[in-house]
Structure 1
Amino acid sequence: MQPNLTVVITGASAGLGRAIAHEFAKLGARVGLISRDLPALEATAAEVERLGGTGATYAADVSDDRAVEAGAASFEERLGPIDIWVNNAMISVFSPIKEMEAAEFRRVTEVNYLGYVHGTLAALKRMLQRNRGRIIQIGSALAVRSIPLQAAYCASKHAIVGFTDSLRCELIHDKSNVKVVVVHMPAMNTPQFTWLKSRLPNLAQPVPPIYEPEVGARVILHAALTSSPRREYWVGGSTVRAIVGRKFIPGLLDFYLGKTGYKAQQGKEADLPDRPDNVWHPVSTTLGAHGPFDKRSRPFSLEAQVSKHRGWFVLGCGLFGAALCARTFLTR
């Protein structure tokens, strides 16, 4: 695919979505940006323009299918036919299941899963008639291996994979040139940990190792531009270990995560009970693509590079990782 692209990114006002917008802007792409936070979207659009692209904004909650469809129509009118659609918008609630409210499960599902469905439908409506285009779903290691305290998020990510697998089969049946790709991400240094809803006593944090969002954004760019994209990409060694470990030692991982998962997802600083969260409304922030963990984050991932062309090499690394993972768990 040529760099002269029209790209739409949901959840584009901060974090990974903002980093993805930056990568496409460097190619001179026309980038449509969707999120609930219009001021942050406008700041992202200004960054896109400074980096050499063309930015356009549309404020919408992705849980609203009509709003997502209207955004897609607006972008096609202003920017041209959509070549790439990146579903990225998400929210999360850190809480034991026994303390969760049904409305919170519903809301996370509506944004994280149905938001992807709505974006996919809007993209397909336009791409299928042209018989070209690419839909990229931002997945997670947690789409394969769930962890404690993030049941709603994990379940929504699992649902995205199931939905996408069905879609991929149908596109093959129809002999369509539209492609759909899932990119599974590791823990990343994004602002989500400053505004997610939490019932934990201490401030939530990503489970180390932590990667800068540009690591994932560069893989998204590859998945968008390569002529023969993989069905899935795995970013980060932790993602590889989680996915392979889930296949070979799921029970051991249950036990290990039950013992360590609570502490690993909390920092040392106490959380504030009245801290605003973004479950129902956006939260203003001065942060952009990066969260507050720069000093602890990795700017590069060897596994992310290998995943672009992984084949048998990654299978061998995965088996080695599973063995190493099992050895690590058994010696703790």
Structure 2
Amino acid sequence: MPQQVAVITGAGAGIGRATARTLARAGCDIALIGRNRDRLSDAAAELQALNVRTHIACADVSDAAALDTAAEEIENALGPITIWVNCAGAGVRGQLAEITPDEIRRATEVTYLGTVNGTRSALLRMRRRSYGTIVNLVALAGLRPPPLQSIENGARAAIRTFSESLRPELLHDGDRIHIALVHLPSINTPHFSWTRNHTGKRLKPMGPVYEPEIAAEAICRAAFGKYRDIWVGTSGVKSWVISTFLPGLSDRWLSKGGYAKQMEKVAVEGNEPDDLFGTVAGAYAAHGRFDMITRKGVPPLLTSRHAQVGTAIAAAGFALMLAVRCRRRG
């Protein structure tokens, strides 16, 4: 396509807002979808200096009809959609017994069904031209799912398997539409300030924390590099080893350390506002309040091509080891 038109859901703050800036710098015209019009307008104003066209569409991603309407508005305003990034999500933290059925349903609708609805809206338009890229976000591969996040972890796992099931459908129909998955560690966004919280303590990220611009860079590479998967950071390696070979030990550690590492010592005072059923007032940008503890270096971005090479090397090494053993026995 002569002009790239990128749609970002959840574009008013956090990873979505950082992704809008990154794709705009890459020369894309940007469509911003979210629930808070003021926040979307503020994000669009940041892009004016980059000389790209922008369009704002207020929509709740859990509403498939509203998302389809927004997609049609975007194509009428900017042209054919070529990139669609599903960044929208809503969370609820706490032990499952303390979370209400309505909260479970809403968090799943926004995070999982929001991604499904966004992917479907993108496909319906991209198939007119048999061209485009859809980027979905999942938790870092290899990480043992921590406690207190069962609803969000379930939604992100569902997004991964949904995306993987969709790929052969597109191959079967011969569409040149690419589905990319970006596997993310903890990212410093306002998400921790407006998640529905049943823990009684202020939330904080667990494990190595990176700035949203790192996630946005990975998303940009996934969009233009046609990668199947991109993994950000290396913290998943240790967790993968433990969860694979010592699962019982991992569960016992998470039952203790997994709680303390997600909560600050400061107690929550009263009912703090959250974005589960509505938007939070205030000017939120891409970053959260954890700039002081984020990793300042650029982490490695492991792509699916790197993983294929690593698997081939590991397989060759294993075959060589077996050959040496067989020769010794012979």
Whether TM-score is above 0.5 comes out as yes
1:322 maps to none
Counterpart of 2:83, as a letter, is I
Q: Deviations over 1:202-249 (max 9, x none)?
A: 2001113110010110011111112xx222111112244445654444
Could you tell me whether the CA contact under 8 Å between 2:205 and 2:262 is conserved in 1?
Answer: yes
Could you tell me whether the CA contact under 8 Å between 1:307 and 1:314 is conserved in 2?
Answer: no
2:268 maps to 271
Q: Among residues 278, 288, 296, which one is paired with 2:285 in the alignment?
A: 288
C-alpha displacement of 1:312? 5.3
Counterpart of 1:258, as a letter, is S
Return closer, same or farther for 1:8/1:133 CA change in 2, 3 Å cut-off: same
Could you tell me whether the CA contact under 8 Å between 1:25 and 1:49 is conserved in 2?
Answer: no
2:307 maps to 311
d(CA) in 1 for partners of 2:313 and 2:284? 36
1:89 maps to 88
Q: Deviations over 1:98-141 (max 9, x none)?
A: 11111111001110111011101110101112111000001112
Q: Identity over the aligned pairs, expressed in percent?
A: 38
Return closer, same or farther for 1:145/1:22 CA change in 2, 3 Å cut-off: same
Counterpart of 2:72, as a letter, is A
Could you tell me whether the CA contact under 8 Å between 1:133 and 1:177 is conserved in 2?
Answer: yes
Q: Counterpart of 1:258 in 2: which secondary structure? A: helix
1:64 maps to 63
C-alpha displacement of 1:169? 1.4
d(CA) in 2 for partners of 1:169 and 1:114? 20
C-alpha displacement of 1:314? 5.2
d(CA) in 1 for partners of 2:13 and 2:239? 26
Matches within 5 A, 1:150-229: 150-226=149-225, 229=226
Q: Deviations over 1:169-221 (max 9, x none)?
A: 11122222101011011101000111111011220011131100101100111
1:135 maps to 134
1:111 maps to 110
State the structure with more CA Rg. Answer: 2
d(CA) in 2 for partners of 1:309 and 1:299? 26
Q: TM-score of the superposition, structure 1-length normalised?
A: 0.89
d(CA) in 2 for partners of 1:119 and 1:264? 33
Matches within 5 A, 1:223-262: 223-226=222-225, 229-243=226-240, 245-262=242-259
- Tell me, which stretches of 5 or more residues in structure 2 are unaligned? 316-330
Return closer, same or farther for 1:299/1:69 CA change in 2, 3 Å cut-off: farther
Q: TM-score of the superposition, structure 2-length normalised?
A: 0.89
CA RMSD of aligned residues (A): 2.2
- Tell me, which stretches of 5 or more residues in structure 1 are unaligned? 320-332
Counterpart of 1:222, as a letter, is R
C-alpha displacement of 1:50? 2.0
